[in-house]
Amino acid sequence: MTHGVDGEQAMTAYDLAIIGSGPGGYVAAIRAAQLGMRVALIEEDALGGVCLNWGCIPSKAILSAAEHFDQLKAGKVPGLQLKGLSVDYGAVIDASRKAAERLSRGVASLMRKNQIEVVRGRGRLAGSGQVLVSDGERESTLEARNILLSTGSRELVLPGIEIDGRRVLTSRQALETRELPESIVIVGGGAVGLEFAYTYAVYGVQVTVVEMMDQLLPGLDRELAEALANSFTRRGVKIATSTTYRGLEVNDQGVVVTVEGEKGEQELRMDQLLLAVGRRARVEDIGLEQAGVQVENGFVAVGEDYCTAAPGIWAIGDVIGPPLLAHKASEEGKAAVEFMAGQRKKRVDPKTIPACIYCQPQVASVGLSEDEARAADYDVRVGKVPFVASGKAVGTGHTEGFVKIVSDARYGEILGCQAIGAGVTELIAEVTLAMVLEATVREVGETCHAHPTLSEVILESALAAEGRAIHF
Amino acid sequence: MAISVTMPQMGESVVEGTIEKWCVNEGDRVEKDQILCEITTDKVDAEIPAPEAGIVSRILVPEGQTVEVATELAVIEPAEVTRPAAAATEEARPEGSAREASGEARTTLEPSEAPERARPRASPVARRMAEEQGIDLEGMTGSGVAGRITKADLLAALEREPTPAGAVAQARRAEAPSKGVPETLGEWLGGMHLPTYAPREGDQVIPFSTIRRRVAEHMVVSKIVSPHVGIVAEVDLHKLVRLREAVKAEFKRSYGFNLTYLPFVVEATVRALKEFPRLNASVVGEAVVERAGIHIGVAVETEKGLLVPVIRDTDRLSLIAVAEAIEDLSRRARQREISADELHGGTFTVTNPGREGNLYGFAVINQPQVGILRMGELKKRPVVVEQDGHDAIAVHPVMHLALSYDHRIIDGVTGNGFLYRVARYLEAAEFVV
Ligand SMILES: Cc1cc2nc3c(=O)[nH]c(=O)nc-3n(C[C@H](O)[C@H](O)[C@H](O)COP(=O)(O)OP(=O)(O)OC[C@H]3O[C@@H](n4cnc5c(N)ncnc54)[C@H](O)[C@@H]3O)c2cc1C
């Protein structure tokens, strides 16, 4: 890979030095190059960050394999007869690693194409526009007019838990483990935990999900969470909400996890424990304090323009806080660079960042939920249409779930959308665009949607918000 | 700069307003908030205050004229412009007002109707806000891509200077009972939540047929529109059964189909309807319309759903003709050979679910009718009869007849009276077969 540093103490001047090449950092690098900046992208690990290597991409590759298996196993393909269906889970993992590697190479070639200098090693703020990069052997210093922190996040590990990669795992180890356990307890009912829960359940692993809050997917619309919990329960996944992790013992047979729920303490004996209780920002050991960058609640504090308290030092992505999503990191990356170039006035609007979960049924949400909209004092109109009302859904056997469009009665403004069902992670883009353009339910309701497609359910929901759905 | 006064949007559904009265004349000096004119809409009456002090330079819409929301009504020259009123009307016209003066009132149209060239770029939400608040978007530049006007821009503009129309709209909203309390039935129902359906593996999904959809919708509408009252009469049919038994075989031979009890019930109903025209009626707006002819609908269950073909001019037909009509209509309804015309225009309905194990039940009124009679099962029951001056128990065939009527226009005495007459006609069994 290109090495912009030639020996110790070498100094090169850049317009922008970016620390961390995740979807935040590498996208910011490209945008900066487009705007004519000379850019250095510093990465100590694989290009593409968590998203490409240990997050979105490998997890979606695994989910896709699980989904195919699920379809075949459940006899959902009419007429297809299969005997002795089985899975080589190791091959699934291998394929997911290949996908990740391929995309990481893709990022490298994008960097070449945009003439971005990729600097291998660990970056550290060294004061007055300088970044110290060390790759274990050599140290070099880069100088840049602006520095962008996109160091991302890593798994949060609860005190007293030791990740051994065999019995006790985080998503990171789970994404590499080529054997399936017989049984697993997943601590954390958020997106990551539930995606693994789906995969494991499909392959016949006995799964228990433990969630501290009183619903899965805390923070998302309750109706969605309940629908998903029902679907998982039907699949045989045990869901324990309002249940807190208390302790862990690892022995020869597996793990003994103590949890406390409404009915008191309970011991779960399983093969493995997957810890998916969230992530924490990578703020340690990069010289933040000396540089005058402030950290609040564990995340780097930034202003509306993504600039930290230290002039010339900016931050975006997971490291500045929730929602911890790849596309949010990318949007912020572009925005921060445009702010630097004086080409932007508004930050990324959090109301139009969709959040998706890719198990089956899929879950997608953008903007305000019904409850949030009511709390914000809108005169709320909800258009809710189940997929059973869609010809396409019935024809293809994907009748589970619904779409809910939350709108304001006064102007018909679309405030949000929550959806659960097949394909909703793709469908949510339409509503997001409508929200960005400030379209009302009327414009969406007047937009011709191809038949038969699942997107017709979006159309019907928009109509339903005004009480004029056709098929429901 | 001249200020334009426009027709405010007073509530979601208000699209136009009428100038009731001008309280000022062209050339008048007005104070801020002084009432310029009174307007009426189909929902509310309101007064439009002057947004600023100044001189009314032009009045563009005469009294009595109805114009669309956002149409310019008058132009006010701010007070600082010290100029004779007459000159103001000539010189201080805002751009484009020549066009308006020539009768082409400027209106803000619905997004889908507005001609493209006349529209400044604005988001649909911004456009709707502008309409309600009476803000003219012309000449405004927004903060969106390529100057597109967004909601945020309008909120900022309103923050700077609230519009009079906005104030009227505000007042109007304040008057409304309280946010969230629906004013119409539709609004109220629209706000209701339906229980959610959680699909289970193996559930069968049977999409509605067209007939099923229409039936379903009609049932819901009828139950909402008409307050149903149900009453039941017990009818001793031993005479009628005897009559039918006596002619049954002969009838079959002559006409080729079985004589059922339905034609008798229809005939008895027709006779009672003549005595109680209130049951042969419709509600139209706020009036009762007693229908000129009697056209009885008979409910027929078909494979695809319920159909109600109509026996035209039932009151002019003999019992045999009624029987023939029922036979013909129900056969064709089942074979789906019935025409739409034959399903319309009924004035009262008789239904015979015709199944065993049904003592009586109340049918849903077939709109826009006001009553429906439903036949129960005909079954032998012990009844008290008088024999040689003594009460005795006899075994007679008995049927329960249930009437559902629309309590908006039929009260208990009328409803009972009608049903009693139907029952008596059937018990007397004086029919010509
Ligand atoms: C299992 C899993 C599944 C996920 N699925 C999804 C999904 O489907 N959709 C979605 O939107 N999000 C998903 N996420 C979240 C998503 O991966 C993150 O939000 C996203 O990667 C954040 O991007 P980032 O650029 O802020 O940081 P990261 O992707 O975390 O990248 C940070 C990079 O910086 C590097 N770095 C850190 N410190 C230094 C340093 N000092 N010097 C040099 N390099 C450094 C790291 O090595 C890393 O490569 C998932 C996460 C996980 C764990």
Mean pLDDT of chain B: 83
Is A159 part of a structural domain of the chain? no
What confidence category does residue B161 fall into, taking pLDDT thresholds of 50, 70 and 90?
confident
Domain ranges, residue B170: 124-175
Instruction: Write down the pLDDT at residue B96.
Output: 40
Quote ipTM for the complex: 0.72
Q: Is the pLDDT of residue B210 over 80?
A: no
Residue A34 has pLDDT above 80, yes or no: yes
B321 and B381 fall within a common domain: yes
Domain boundary among A243, A262, A277: A277
Q: Are B273 and B295 in contact (CB under 8 A)?
A: no
% of residues, chain A, pLDDT over 70: 97
Q: In this model, does residue B25 exceed pLDDT 50? A: yes
Q: Sorting pLDDT into bands at 50, 70 and 90, what band is B180? A: low
Residue A201 Cα to ligand 1 midpoint, Å, equals 26
User: Does A230 fall in a domain?
Assistant: yes
Which of B125, B197, B212 to mutate to probe the A interface, most A CBs <10 Å?
Answer: B125
Is the residue at B343 inside a domain?
Answer: yes
Indicate whether A270 and A305 sit together in one domain. Answer: no
Identify the domain containing residue A424 by its residue range: 361-465
pLDDT of B190 > 80? The answer is: no
In a domain, B183, yes or no: no
Asked if residue A126 and residue A35 are part of one domain, the reply reads: yes
Q: Residues B35, B23: contact at Cβ < 8 Å? A: yes
> Would you call B150 an interface residue with chain A, using a CB distance cutoff of 8 Å?
yes
Within 8 A by CB and 6+ apart from A284, the residues are none
Q: Is the pLDDT of residue B164 over 80?
A: no
Question: What is the CB < 6 Å shell around ligand 1?
Answer: A 19-25, 42-45, 49-51, 54-56, 59, 122-123, 150-153, 171, 192, 282, 286, 317-319, 324-327, 329, 358
* B117 within some domain: no
Going by pLDDT thresholds of 50, 70 and 90, the confidence category of residue B39 is confident
**A290 in the same domain as A226:** no
Q: What average pLDDT does the segment B145-156 reach?
A: 87
Which domain CATH number covers B71?
Answer: 2.40.50.100
Q: Which of B324, B322, B307 has its CA nearest to residue B270?
A: B322
Is there a single domain that holds both residue A139 and residue A18? yes
Nearest CA in chain B to A400: B199
A471, part of any domain: no
Amino acid at B299: A
- Is A390 found in the same domain as A295? no
Q: How many domains does chain A have?
A: 3
Whole-number pLDDT of residue B88? 38
Q: Are B98 and B143 part of one and the same domain? A: no
A369: which 2 tokens? Answer: 């939920």
A326 alpha carbon – ligand 1 mean position (Å): 7
Residue B27 confidence class, pLDDT cut points 50, 70, 90: confident
Q: What is the pLDDT of residue B181?
A: 65
Flag whether pLDDT at B278 surpasses 80. Answer: yes
Q: Is pLDDT above 70 for A243?
A: yes
Same domain, A103 and A17: yes
Considering the domain architecture, whether residues B73 and B160 belong to the same structural domain is answered as no
Predicted confidence (pLDDT) at residue B286 exceeds the cutoff of 90: no
A1 at the B interface (CB within 8 A)?
Answer: no
Do both B358 and B410 map to the same domain?
Answer: yes
Q: Residues B218, B238, B396, B407: which is the catalytic one?
A: B407
- Please tell me the distance in Å from B205's CA to the nearest CA on chain A: 7
CA atoms within 13 A on the CB side of A409: 20
Confidence of residue B169 (pLDDT cuts 50, 70, 90): low
Where is the domain boundary, A227, A251, A277? A277
pLDDT digits (tens, 9 = 90+) for B330-342: 999 888 888 878 8
- Which atom of ligand 1 is the closest one to the Cα of A133? 42
Q: Is residue B89 part of a domain?
A: yes
Domain end (from A226, A260, A277): A277
Query: What's the half-sphere exposure (Cβ side, CA atoms, 13 Å) at B110?
Result: 11
Asked whether the predicted pLDDT for residue A286 surpasses 50, the reply is yes
Q: Are residues B252 and B390 in the same domain?
A: yes
A172 and A132, same domain (yes or no): no
In this predicted structure, what is the pLDDT of residue B12? 65
> How many separate domains does chain B show?
3
- Is A344 within 8 Å of chain B by CB? no
pLDDT tens by residue, A374-433? 999 999 999 999 999 999 999 998 999 999 999 999 899 999 999 999 999 999 999 999
Same domain, A111 and A22: yes
| Shared-domain flag, residues B382 and B259 | yes
A83 pLDDT exceeds 80? yes
User: Would you say residue A90 lies in a domain?
Assistant: yes
Q: Residue A412 maps to which CATH number? A: 3.30.390.30
In a domain, A470, yes or no: no
Give the closest of A394, A400, A438 to B124, CB-based: A438
Q: B11 lies in a domain? A: yes
Query: Average model confidence (pLDDT) for chain A?
Result: 94
pLDDT at A46 over 60: yes
Kindly report, residue by residue over A144-201, the tens digit of the pLDDT.
Answer: 999 999 999 999 999 999 999 999 999 999 999 999 999 999 999 999 999 999 999 9
Q: Are residues A143 and A17 in the same domain?
A: yes
- B146/B257 same-domain check: no
Q: How far apart are the first and last CA of chain B?
A: 90
Is the predicted pLDDT of residue B109 greater than 60, yes or no?
no
Contacts 24+ apart (CB under 8 A), A122-129: A122/A42, A122/A44, A123/A17, A123/A19, A123/A20, A123/A42, A123/A44, A123/A286, A124/A285, A124/A286, A124/A287, A125/A286, A125/A287, A125/A288, A125/A290, A125/A291, A125/A293, A125/A313, A126/A287, A127/A287, A127/A290, A127/A291, A129/A312
Asked if residue B19 has pLDDT above 70, the reply is: yes
What Rg do the C-alpha atoms of chain B give, in angstroms?
Answer: 34
Residues A65-86 have a mean pLDDT of 89
Q: Return the percentage of chain A with pLDDT > 90, whole number.
A: 91
Contacting residues of A for B177, CB less than 8 Å apart: none
Instruction: Determine, yes or no, domain membership for B268.
Output: yes
CATH number at residue B235: 3.30.559.10
A343 part of a folded domain: yes
Is B416 domain-assigned?
yes
Cross-chain residue pair A442–B111, CB shorter than 8 Å: yes
Residues A41 and A142 in one domain: yes
**Band of pLDDT at residue B42, cut at 50, 70 and 90:** low
Query: Does A300 fall in a domain?
Result: yes
Residue B119 — very low, low, confident or very high, per pLDDT cuts 50/70/90? Answer: low
Is there a single domain that holds both residue A271 and residue A418?
Answer: no
pLDDT for B86 beyond 80: no
Report the side by side order of strands in the sheet with A380-386: A355-357, A362-367, A414-421, A402-408, A380-386
- Residues in A closer than 8 angstroms to B198, CB to CB, are 227, 230
A321 and A396 together in one domain: no
